[in-house]
């Protein structure tokens, strides 16, 4: 990493942290008096767009979206792979309003957590997976009924660029039980914003939005089948964009 790039990254994080503190503090005093949708735009959309501007100006990272025409009018469950912090900025600004799963402890952070608490997040206790799964199902269903997008990272955590994690069924279960589709999204943000370290690389992040996927039936079997289909789509889309190596010839023709 060059000295100039290191300085740009330092300035990026300095401005990102400062703006976050100032904006969350301001939001704490203004947002409670706004309707939920106006509050979401004020707290999340405007600041996330500012964060993306900082990303472009200081880090030289841009993005290109393919498949925007696939977004349904009715909010549903978004299933996206997870490689970096970048996609949380992008998805929070692109889909409005949106709720996502986060650690309950984040809500206790002064001003930042208080501002996040006003956006109807699904705050879970990660030390209690069973209770967390039930909470996602219960609160997620209520949010969908309020026409709020629900973002699920089915891999559960950030995974390094060039790999893909196992998809959990929580997101597809939520969609099937709500009678809604899942909206699959794949990206290669980790190529420019690695999971580990502070280093960033300039370039253009590819974001692909797939067609909504509906379950073929109801019940556990339909949930599992939809989850497998969404995971397969994400994996193939990442291969198509060069994020994963192509399938070997003998593997492609093997019979399971």
At 148-202, the pLDDT tens digits run 999 999 998 899 999 999 999 999 999 999 999 999 999 999 999 998 888 899 9
pLDDT of residue 255: 38
d(CA 150, CA 96): 10
d(CA 246, CA 236): 9
By CB atoms closer than 10 A (0-12, 13-18, 19+), residue 17 is exposed
Read off φ and ψ for residue 152, nearest 5 degrees: -125, 130
Segment (H or E) for 137: helix 129-145
d(CA 206, CA 193): 12
d(CA 116, CA 233): 31
Pairing of strands 203-209, 149-152: unpaired
User: What are the residues facing 213 on neighbouring strands?
Assistant: 182
Percent of the chain whose pLDDT exceeds 70: 96
Nearest to 194 by CA among 43, 9, 42, 46: 9
d(CA 62, CA 109): 30
Residues 6+ apart with CB under 8 A from 179: none
Nearest to 87 by CA among 15, 14, 191, 8: 191
pLDDT of residue 254: 40
pLDDT of residue 256: 40
pLDDT of residue 248: 55
The CATH architecture one would assign to domain 3-246 is 3-Layer(aba) Sandwich (3.40)
Q: What is the pLDDT along the chain (256 residues), one digit of tens a residue?
A: 688 889 999 999 999 999 999 998 899 889 899 999 999 999 999 999 999 999 999 999 999 999 999 999 999 999 999 999 999 999 999 999 999 988 888 888 877 788 888 899 998 887 888 888 889 899 999 999 999 999 999 998 899 999 999 999 999 999 999 999 999 999 999 999 998 888 899 999 999 999 999 999 889 999 999 999 999 999 999 999 999 887 654 444 343 4
């Amino acid at each position: 990493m060059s000295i100039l790039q290191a300085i740009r990254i330092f300035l990026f994080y300095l401005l990102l942290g400062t703006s976050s503190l100032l904006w969350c503090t301001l939001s704490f005093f203004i947002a409670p008096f706004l309707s939920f949708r106006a509050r979401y735009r004020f707290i999340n959309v405007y600041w996330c767009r500012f964060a993306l501007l900082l990303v472009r100006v200081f880090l030289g990272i841009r993005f290109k979206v393919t498949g925007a025409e696939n977004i349904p009018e009715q909010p549903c469950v978004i299933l996206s792979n997870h490689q970096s912090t970048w996609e949380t900025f992008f998805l929070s600004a692109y889909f409005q309003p949106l709720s996502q799963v986060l650690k309950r402890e984040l809500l206790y952070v002064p001003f930042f957590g208080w501002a996040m608490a006003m956006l109807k997040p699904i705050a879970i206790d990660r030390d209690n997976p069973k209770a967390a799964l039930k909470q996602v199902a219960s609160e997620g269903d209520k949010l969908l009924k309020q026409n709020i997008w629900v973002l699920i990272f089915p891999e559960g955590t950030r995974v390094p660029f060039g790999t893909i994690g196992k998809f959990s069924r929580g997101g597809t279960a939520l969609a099937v039980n709500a009678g809604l589709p899942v909206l699959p999204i794949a990206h290669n943000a980790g190529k420019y914003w690695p999971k580990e370290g502070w280093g960033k690389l300039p370039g253009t992040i590819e974001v692909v939005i797939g067609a909504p996927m509906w379950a073929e039936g109801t019940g556990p079997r339909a949930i599992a089948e939809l989850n497998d289909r969404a995971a397969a789509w994400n994996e193939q889309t990442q291969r198509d964009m060069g994020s994963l190596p192509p399938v070997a010839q003998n593997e492609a023709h093997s019979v399971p």
